[in-house]
């Protein structure tokens, strides 16, 4: 009538408070409280969870250290420390600076490892792997407060900037940094071969012919620090370098010189651009001249010039063929001179050519008469 009974299981511990003050920890068994105990409050815990989620843990650890240490292992995390809490060899909590971690004694396998976060801002690989293995067990909110993750893909490089200063560069992989009290930024740099199109460049040649040129630049970043941190826009710098190189190179050439060999133009522009970008940490692999576009009236003039050149070439070839034919006839005439048998054969060939186009042929006075009337080669 005047008392109440509290039963505590083997896997339980109960903290009991009177008027808001911690009075003790109840072990497994049967406990009796008189009803006249006013403002009684009980807080039950499952010690099989290993980690004790105590409200106001820091205060309780200072005010009731002797009472709690009989049941709990208490760990206070320093200002420049963090703690990795393990329950049954599984990472379950990332303890932040200023927190008190309470682990139940006589429970499951528990452990904590405290690390100095200012000694090296880079989180050790084994902790990164442990965090990745923990999945959703560790609070993402706590992780985001304490850690700055960095993921670097294949073919990329990351520049880590701590409190406004370059700290290090990272190759492909997964990393994490302690950001407690620090501002950390990671810049990703693509170190693969990249392409920039430079189209519609209006340029004058040395003989003042206006051209429109389309080009393509292939490059890769060698020095990420110089190309990304020291320069505001490496792509813009590369674009302008090709622009200026095209103007310098084409402006020094006549139109005819330019049209003879576009590949030579590309080589000259490549050398110019490579020199311009060398100090920016950029390696140029190719500058291709895709199109050289002439104005409409200049196309018409060039077409006429080409047509005249081709016509002159055709006339020269025809005259050369006619000369060769005359020379062949002269050689034949010299062969026939003084050779009656060969002359006779030629006469028969001529007769065959004539007869093949005649439907009916009447022969008078024999072969000699026909030859006299049709054809006769005189020696």
pLDDT in tens, 36-73: 656 778 889 999 888 888 888 888 888 888 888 888 99
| Cα–chain center distance at 371 | 89
Average pLDDT over the chain, rounded to an integer: 83
How much is the pLDDT for 266?
Answer: 84
pLDDT at 316 > cutoff 90: no
**Of the candidates 238, 233, 232, 234, the residue with the CA atom closest to the CA atom of residue 215:** 238
**Cα(220)–Cα(188) distance, integer angstroms:** 14
Predicted confidence at residue 36, as pLDDT, reads 60
Higher pLDDT, 112 or 374: 112
User: Predicted confidence band at 205 (pLDDT cuts at 50, 70, 90)?
Assistant: confident
In 3-state terms, the chain is what percent helix, strand and coil (to 5)? 40, 35, 25
Edge-to-edge order in the sheet of strand 90-95: 90-95, 81-87, 110-116
pLDDT of residue 372: 59
Is the distance from CB of 13 to CB of 25 less than 8 angstroms?
yes
* Predicted confidence (pLDDT) at residue 152 exceeds the cutoff of 60: yes
For residues 74-91, give the mean pLDDT: 91
pLDDT band at 379 (very low <50, low <70, confident <90, very high): very low
Share of the chain above pLDDT 70, in %: 82
Confidence of residue 183 (pLDDT cuts 50, 70, 90): very high
pLDDT score recorded for residue 271: 92
pLDDT of the residue at 226: 86
Quickly state the pLDDT bin for 243 (edges 50, 70, 90).
Answer: very high
Range scoring the smallest mean pLDDT among 107-121, 177-191, 308-322: 308-322
Q: How far apart are CA 185 and CA 174, in angstroms?
A: 15
Phi, psi of 305 (to 5 degrees): -60, -45
Distance CA 78, CA 99 (A): 8
Above 90 in pLDDT, residue 89? no
Residues linked to residue 181 through DSSP beta bridges, in sequence order: none
Strands 100-104, 110-116: parallel, antiparallel or unpaired by DSSP? unpaired
φ and ψ of 321, to 5 deg: -65, -40
Tokens of residue 39, six digits: 């403002």
Contacts of 162 (CB under 8 A, 6+ apart): 121, 177, 182, 183, 184
Look at 366 and 348; give whichever has higher pLDDT: 348
pLDDT band at 107 (very low <50, low <70, confident <90, very high): confident
Q: What is the pLDDT of residue 367?
A: 56
């Amino acid at each position: 009538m005047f008392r109440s009974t509290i039963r505590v299981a083997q896997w339980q511990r109960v903290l009991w408070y009177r008027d808001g003050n911690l009075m003790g920890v109840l072990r497994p068994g049967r406990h009796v409280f008189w009803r006249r105990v006013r403002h009684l409050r009980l807080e039950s815990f499952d010690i099989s969870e290993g980690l004790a989620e105590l409200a106001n843990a820091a205060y309780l650890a200072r005010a009731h250290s002797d009472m709690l240490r009989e049941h709990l292992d208490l760990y206070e995390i320093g200002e420049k420390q963090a703690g990795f809490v393990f329950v049954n060899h599984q990472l379950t909590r990332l303890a932040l600076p200023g927190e008190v971690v309470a682990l139940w004694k006589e429970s499951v396998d528990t452990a904590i490892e405290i690390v100095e976060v200012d000694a090296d801002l880079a989180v050790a690989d084994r902790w990164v792997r442990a965090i990745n293995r923990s999945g959703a067990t560790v609070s993402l909110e706590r992780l985001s407060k304490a850690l700055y993750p960095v993921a670097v893909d294949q073919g990329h490089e990351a520049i880590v900037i701590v409190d406004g200063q370059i700290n290090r560069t990272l190759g492909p992989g997964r990393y994490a940094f302690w950001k407690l009290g620090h501002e950390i930024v990671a810049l990703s740099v693509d170190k693969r071969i990249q392409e920039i199109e430079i189209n519609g460049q209006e340029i004058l040649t040395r003989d003042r012919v206006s051209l429109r040129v389309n080009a393509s630049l292939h490059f890769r970043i060698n020095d990420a620090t110089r190309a990304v941190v020291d320069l505001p826009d490496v792509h813009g710098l590369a674009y302008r370098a090709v622009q200026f190189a095209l103007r310098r190179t084409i402006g020094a050439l006549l139109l005819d010189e330019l049209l003879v060999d576009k590949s030579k133009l590309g080589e000259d522009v490549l050398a110019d651009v490579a020199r311009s970008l060398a100090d920016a940490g950029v390696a140029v692999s190719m500058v291709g001249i895709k199109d050289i576009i002439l104005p409409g009236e200049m196309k018409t003039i060039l077409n006429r010039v080409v047509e005249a050149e081709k016509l002159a070439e055709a006339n020269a070839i025809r005259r050369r063929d006619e000369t060769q034919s005359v020379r062949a006839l002269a050689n034949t005439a010299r062969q026939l001179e003084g050779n009656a048998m060969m002359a006779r054969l030629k006469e028969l060939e001529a007769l065959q050519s004539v007869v093949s186009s005649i439907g009916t042929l009447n022969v008078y006075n024999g072969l000699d008469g026909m030859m006299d009337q049709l054809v006769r080669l005189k020696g």
